[in-house]
Amino acid sequence: MSKKKPATVRHLKRYGGCRLYDLETRTYRGADDLRRLVLAGVRISVREVGNGQDVTDEVTPQELH
């Protein structure tokens, strides 16, 4: 019986339209950071701070979908 490690999901909050805050590392992230995480196999979840709306597709580079 093989145990697969569950896919890691990195939760981020979006502030002010473009500022992304990484809850795990407690740092702000940019587009290059998101690209590196996605290419490393990390799943990304981005929520708008004001209303909790999922905006992951808006902030993830299109070529990485």
Q: pLDDT tens, 10-58?
A: 999 999 868 899 999 999 998 889 889 988 888 999 999 989 999 998 8
pTM > 0.85: no
Tally the C-alpha atoms within 13 A of residue 1's C-alpha that lie toward its C-beta. Answer: 0
Which candidate, 45, 44, 51, 64, places its Cα nearest to that of 17?
51
CA separation for the pair 43, 35 (Å, rounded):
11
Query: Which residue do the tokens 């905006």 mark?
Result: 55
